[in-house]
């Protein structure tokens, strides 16, 4: 019997579980999923210290397990399965990540730590959707995690050793199995039991539902929020079979919920009415600019820095400290709370983890400078979107009040302060996705890389961390290189990275096995893109690589929305754009690159790798 409709819809897909865990196999087969087991050979040795949270570590390990299997199967049969599922379960206690114990002593040390305390069990899951095109492999990664809180009773020495000698702990994260004898150690559990055992089944079903078909708007009121959609909401999954690029195929449908009005319009029998198509979606679109502006304003006022340093604070305290009106400050703080950026309690306002990670002006993954660039530059240009669309030109005169020839220079290199702000913005934005990009392909065969326009080295340092045998050169304008030193990390990877000043349109490119263009091509109009690719093609030796890091548009160019909006931004700012994989394919082939492969990382940048023929 099939447990959930979405499982039945997967029956015609080639699904692979990249896991040797008998528990995962059991959970998924009991749920009605048909799959083949191909255990991953990925070595679970990522550096835990380099992850901001334990679940980020679990998700990355899950992703690497699944990617390794997808690539291996594609290499062997020249055909990857449709879906590869990877998972990783860890136990987290007081900042420590516990995996499977290596021996009985290790099991003892884990279990005695857990005794009498509450810990979290995180399972990271990666769903990799694969499609093979022209011998290449296009991988689309979706990942999520689930947390379950587990409280152990106080365990006596005798009980501990008896349990360890049962042999149960050795192949289990944290050294226990809640589904068997280990269940006797557990006083309380909060969350999904299956997640502890090794696979968060409920969340997995919701994720599949989200990926394969969103609920229709007319179904929504009948459903509890967050529930698993009913059978008829998955109907179109079957239609996707065989749909290729440009045919509006499955990939597109998986990646973005259908707009409510559009879904209804296909329903020929009924005329849309205010009841069947409520205006909520339009009203939300109207409010989009208010949300952006509230975020920009809170960042500009450095509210998040203040609450990090002195929070929780009341409205009156915040208003006094930033020298603003109490009424206005209170409303802005409440909107930030409504947006999930602040927590509001009786003690006052404080930052949520989202704000702590991305909105502080000096955090490791800070997007503060990027937000300020949007406030100062993108916002005025977007005010003239209609002119940009009508005239097909960059609206520098209207937006900035200058008719400068090179407005890129005008915007970002006007003075040192602006330049540093731009570099910080690029640094934060690159860093957030750097690990995803660096691990999207196995680059260990390359010994030298050159990141053209690599700025502060955010990607170069991550590549160096992932591939200790790789030397990376950053080739960027002299004015960028002179300040890149401020972004140098302390670890040994700094020794693998060097900087060479130059202009990639004019000067000789440094020699390298692998060239990298990270968020460069989307800045330039087509003639410049060809010019740059032709220069790289001439410098690149046969067998050498070219790695592009950009947001990929789907072939129908209607999704994913973040890539579409990025493309619009590039049009408004530079009369440039984002591209689909087949567009990159054509561009790269025209310049002598073959074997074009892409990984949609699920993060804010995707990766395309090609080989010089
Ligand atoms: C807390 C807990 C964990 N586990 C098992 O612990 C392993 C974790 O290790 P992993 O690295 O995530 O997986 P693996 O077993 O090495 O398999 P693979 O996916 O091939 O890496 C998985 O087995 C889980 O079931 C239980 O069976 N019961 C529990 O209560």
* DSSP string over 459-489: HHHHHHHH-TT-EEEEEE-HHHHHHHGGG--
- Quick check: 249 pLDDT over 80? no
pTM above 0.90, yes or no: no
Q: Give the H/E segment covering residue 10.
A: none
Q: Does CATH place domain 5-100+120-148+193-212 in 3.90.950.10? A: yes
Q: Alpha-carbon torsion 464, 503, 388, 577, what sign?
A: negative
Q: What is the pLDDT of residue 209?
A: 85
Q: For the domain bounded by 297-363, which CATH number is listed?
A: 1.10.10.10
What residue has token string 């302390």?
Answer: 490
pLDDT band at 58 (very low <50, low <70, confident <90, very high): very high
Nearest Cα neighbor of 579 from 431, 250, 596 is 596
Identify the CATH class of 417-612: alpha beta
Name the nearest CA neighbour of 590 among 570, 610, 563. 610
Residues 256-263, mean pLDDT to the nearest whole number: 47
Backbone angles phi, psi at 483, to 5 degrees: -110, 0
**Residue 344: φ, ψ to 5°:** -115, 120
pLDDT in tens, 402-425: 776 666 676 777 789 989 999 999
* Residue 85 and residue 125 in contact, taking contact as beta carbons nearer than 8 Å: yes
The partner residues of 344 in beta bridges, in order of sequence, read: 349
Q: Where are the alpha helices (DSSP H) in 139-245?
A: 157-165, 193-197, 201-212
- Ligand 1 midpoint to CA 451 (Å): 38
Around ligand 1, the residues with Cβ closer than 6 Å are: 19-21, 23, 39-40, 44, 65, 87-89, 91, 100, 121, 171-174, 176-179, 182, 196-198
- Rounded distance between C-alpha atoms, residue 410 and residue 470, angstroms: 35
Tell me the domain boundaries of the chain: 5-100+120-148+193-212, 297-363, 417-612
Residue 496 has pLDDT above 90, yes or no: yes
**DSSP H/E element including 374:** none
Q: Whose CA is nearest to atom 28 of ligand 1?
A: 177
Residue 409: partners with Cβ closer than 8 Å, 6 or more residues away? none
* Cα 75 to ligand 1 centroid, rounded to whole Å: 27
Quote the ligand 1 centre to 328 CA distance (angstroms): 51
Q: Specify the higher pLDDT residue, 258 or 334.
A: 334
Rounded to the nearest angstrom, the distance between the alpha carbon of 224 and the centre of ligand 1 is 31
Please give the positions annotated as active site: 88
CA separation for the pair 4, 205 (Å, rounded):
8
Question: How wide is the angle at C-alpha 442 spanned by C-alphas 135 and 560, nearest 5°?
Answer: 65
Ligand 1 binding pocket mutation candidate from 46, 172, 184 (most atoms within 8 A of CB): 172
Pairwise CA distance, residues 193 & 199, whole Å: 9
Question: Which segment of 47-51, 258-262, 356-360, 578-582 scores lowest on mean pLDDT?
Answer: 258-262
Please provide residue 222's backbone torsions phi and psi, each rounded to the nearest 5 degrees.
Answer: -75, -20
Stretch among 217-231, 297-311, 508-522 having the lowest mean pLDDT: 217-231
Instruction: Point out which residues pair with 118 in neighbouring strands.
Output: 151
pLDDT at 262: 53
pLDDT at 537 exceeding the cut of 70 = yes
Residue of the nearest CA to atom 15 in ligand 1?
A: 21
Q: The tokens of 418 are what?
A: 């602006």
């Amino acid at each position: 019997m099939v447990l959930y409709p979405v499982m039945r819809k997967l029956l015609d897909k080639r699904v692979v579980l990249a896991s040797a865990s008998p528990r995962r196999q059991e959970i998924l087969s009991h749920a009605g999923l048909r799959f083949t087991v191909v255990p991953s050979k990925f070595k679970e040795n990522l550096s835990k210290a380099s992850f901001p949270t334990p679940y980020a570590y679990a998700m990355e390990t899950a992703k690497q397990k699944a990617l390794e299997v997808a690539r291996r199967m594609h290499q062997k049969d020249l055909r990857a399965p449709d879906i590869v599922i990877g998972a990783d379960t860890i136990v987290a206690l007081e900042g420590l990540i516990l995996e499977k114990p290596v021996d009985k002593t290790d099991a003892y040390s884990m279990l005695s730590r857990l005794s009498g305390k509450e810990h979290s069990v995180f399972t990271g899951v990666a769903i990799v959707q694969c499609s093979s095109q022209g011998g290449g492999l296009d991988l689309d990664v979706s990942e999520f995690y689930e947390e379950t809180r587990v409280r152990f009773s106080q365990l006596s020495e005798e009980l501990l050793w008896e349990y360890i000698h049962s042999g149960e702990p050795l192949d289990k994260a944290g050294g226990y199995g809640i589904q068997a004898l280990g269940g006797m150690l557990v006083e309380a559990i909060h969350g999904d039991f299956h997640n502890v055992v090794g696979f968060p089944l409920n969340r997995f079903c919701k994720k599949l539902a989200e990926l394969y078909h969103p609920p229709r708007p007319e179904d929504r009121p009948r459903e509890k929020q967050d529930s698993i959609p009913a059978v008829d909401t998955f109907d179109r999954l079957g239609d996707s079979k065989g749909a290729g690029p440009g045919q509006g195929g499955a990939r597109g449908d998986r990646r973005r919920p259908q707009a409510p009005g559009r879904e209804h319009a296909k329903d020929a029998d009924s005329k849309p009415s205010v009841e069947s198509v409520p205006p909520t979606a339009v009203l939300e679109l109207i409010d989009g600019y208010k949300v952006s502006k509230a975020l920009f304003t809170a960042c500009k006022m450095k509210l998040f820095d203040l609450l990090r340093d002195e929070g929780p604070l009341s409205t009156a305290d915040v208003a006094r400290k930033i020298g603003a009106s109490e009424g206005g400050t209170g409303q802005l703080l409440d909107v930030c709370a409504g947006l999930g950026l602040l927590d509001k309690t009786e003690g006052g306002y404080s930052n949520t983890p989202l704000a702590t990670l991305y909105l502080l002006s000096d955090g490791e993954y800070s997007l503060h400078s990027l937000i300020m660039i949007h406030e100062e530059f993108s916002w005025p240009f977007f005010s003239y979107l209609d002119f940009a669309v009508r005239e097909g030109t960059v609206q520098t005169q209207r937006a900035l009040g200058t008719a400068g020839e090179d407005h890129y220079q005008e915007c970002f290199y006007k003075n040192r302060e602006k330049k540093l702000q731009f570099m910080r913005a690029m640094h934060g934005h690159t860093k957030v996705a750097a690990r995803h990009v660096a691990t999207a392909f196995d680059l260990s065969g390359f010994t030298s890389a050159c990141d053209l326009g690599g700025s502060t080295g955010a990607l170069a340092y991550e590549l160096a961390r992932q591939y200790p045998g790789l030397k990376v050169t950053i080739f960027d304008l002299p004015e960028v290189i002179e300040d890149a030193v401020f972004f140098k990390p302390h670890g040994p990877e700094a020794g693998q990275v060097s900087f060479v000043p130059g202009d990639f349109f004019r000067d000789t490119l440094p020699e390298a096995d692998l060239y990298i263009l990270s968020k460069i091509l989307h800045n330039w109009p087509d003639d410049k893109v060809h010019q740059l690719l032709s220069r790289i093609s001439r410098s690149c030796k046969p067998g050498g690589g070219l790695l592009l890091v950009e947001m990929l548009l789907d072939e129908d160019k209607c999704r994913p929305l973040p890539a579409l909006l990025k493309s619009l931004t590039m049009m408004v700012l530079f009369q440039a754009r984002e591209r689909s994989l087949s567009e990159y394919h054509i561009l790269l082939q025209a310049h002598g690159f073959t074997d074009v492969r892409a990984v949609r990382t699920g993060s804010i940048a995707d990766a395309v790798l090609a080989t010089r023929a």
